[in-house]
Amino acid sequence: MVLQVGNEFPEVILKYIPYDSAQSEECGLPQVLDTKKDFAGKKVVIFGLPGAFTPTCSAQHLPLYVAKAEAIKAKGVDRIVCVSSNDYFVLDAWGKQNKVKDKITMASDANGELGRATGLSLDLSKMGMGSQRLTRFAAIVVDGKVTHLSVEPNPGEVAVSGADNILAAL
């Protein structure tokens, strides 16, 4: 199944390390993000990307969400989630480098479960990045239901899944 507007967002268990201002150098303990439970009754913006520390993700995708997080939340969004195929320690370090703080939950789909459940995965093994990476996308999920979905036709670009497009959709 490929995720579409009107679908229930699939139940997947992701992991993340919560922001802790006392831990600027080391990582905390991972926590569970249950998309069924944690998205229920909430308006969530979730955006996916192939990998932390990669050029497009680091220069174009994440930084604009960090910069526009307050504006997005001002539109009634309860939580912003960035999800990538990296492990939660890598995502925690990437979040610290990008000064994400508690603006965005940096969630790991290291086992590819979200990619498989949504049909939003891609094979980057020819580039040496593995066969189960998330493609670049952004979605608005209201009480567990997908109300907006933008999937990049070229995952190496941020044309439709960026923060400005999400703001316009809200």
Q: Please give the order of strands across the beta sheet that includes 43-49.
A: 31-34, 13-16, 105-108, 79-84, 43-49, 137-142, 145-151
Catalytic residue among 14, 52, 57, 106: 57
Asked if residue 136 lies in contact with residue 160, where contact means CB atoms within 8 angstroms, the answer is no
Asked if residue 114 lies in contact with residue 12, where contact means CB atoms within 8 angstroms, the answer is yes
Pairing, β 133-134 against β 137-142 = unpaired
Q: Which residue has the tokens 């009634």?
A: 76
Residue 82 is among the residues annotated as catalytic for this protein = no
> Which residues are catalytic, by number?
57
